[in-house]
Amino acid sequence: EAGVTQSPTHLIKTRGQQATLRCSPISGHTSVYWYQQALGLGLQFLLWYDEGEERNRGNFPPRFSGRQFPNYSSELNVNALELEDSALYLCASSFGFGELFFGEGSRLTVL
Amino acid sequence: GDSVTQMEGPVTLSEEAFLTINCTYTATGYPSLFWYVQYPGEGLQLLLKATKADDKGSNKGFEATYRKETTSFHLEKGSVQVSDSAVYFCALKMKTSYDKVIFGPGTSLSVIP
């Protein structure tokens, strides 16, 4: 069974540009979570989607946005990139009240 | 609000030493509790879990017991190996609502030969 897959693995952008990160959940999972992990820091909750709707949002500015598609895959968009957006972005999926399964992450570098 | 507190790291141990990483939580209900591990350059992997009081989760020689009376879920291993070097995250998830998973800050473990 395929796990959570994320793309791209690495992404390099410059300040002011936009970045789009993608996530495919485990088959049968309807919830997708996005977390930011900056260097040396813990996991900061970004967004949670379930059944196509945004269920919860962390303390991030509106330039962080996303969506979930009918097939439950998801994308995270970061507009007007800033240097401090450089981080590992982790996607996780779950079904119901079950545990989260994480992807390998997308490393975003903003120059 | 709900929260998870972990012991401060980094933790450095010699191979075959005993490991304890403390984790305590605050929650209004009865959450499920998890330990995740993140090896260098990788995403998080579920290490073990417990869904109710007095449950013991175990995997790869690691154990943790859900203690409702002390609101704790401490991670232990009797003899660590160099390959256990990683960051360990304690987490909770409420079972009564569609609530987000709450992670602790993580504890970095380095095991030296």
Coil/strand/helix, residue A83:
helix
In chain A, DSSP assigns E strands to: 5-7, 10-13, 19-24, 31-37, 44-50, 53-57, 64-68, 74-78, 87-94, 101-102, 106-110
Write the CB contacts of B19 (distance below 8 Å, at least 6 apart in sequence).
Answer: B11, B13, B75, B76, B77, B80, B84, B109
Measured between beta carbons, the chain B residues lying within 8 angstroms of A104 are 42-43
Task: Check: CB of residue A38 under 8 Å from CB of residue A82.
Answer: no
Measured between beta carbons, the chain A residues lying within 8 angstroms of B49 are 99
Please tell me the distance from the alpha carbon of residue B63 to that of residue B50, in angstroms, as a whole number.
Answer: 10
Whether B95 has a pLDDT exceeding 80, the answer reads: no
Distance from the Cα of B15 to chain A's closest Cα (Å) equals: 24
User: Given an 8 Å threshold on Cβ–Cβ distance, is A102 in contact with B106?
Assistant: no
Distance from the Cα of A19 to chain B's closest Cα (Å) equals: 20
User: Given an 8 Å threshold on Cβ–Cβ distance, is A103 in contact with B104?
Assistant: no
Residues A32-56 have pLDDT tens digits of 999 999 877 788 899 999 999 998 8
Task: Check: CB of residue B78 under 8 Å from CB of residue B60.
Answer: no
Bridge partner residues of B33 (DSSP): B50, B92
Which of A23, A29, A43 would best serve as a mutation to test chain B binding (most B beta carbons within 10 A)? A43
pLDDT at A111: 96
The sign one gets for the Cα dihedral A28, A33, A36, A41 is negative
Mean pLDDT by 10 residues, chain A (111 residues): 92 98 96 90 88 91 96 97 96 86 95 96
* CA-CA-CA-CA dihedral for B12, B87, B62, B49, to nearest 10: 150
Q: Does B103 touch chain A (CB under 8 A)?
A: yes
Residues B13-44 have pLDDT tens digits of 999 999 999 999 998 888 999 999 999 888 89
What distance separates the 2 farthest-apart alpha carbons in chain B?
Answer: 45
Task: Check: CB of residue A48 under 8 Å from CB of residue A55.
Answer: yes
Task: Pick the residue from chain B with its C-alpha nearest to A92.
Answer: B44
Residues B44-90 have pLDDT tens digits of 999 999 999 999 999 999 999 999 999 999 999 999 999 999 999 99
Task: Check: CB of residue B45 under 8 Å from CB of residue A104.
Answer: no
pLDDT at A71: 95
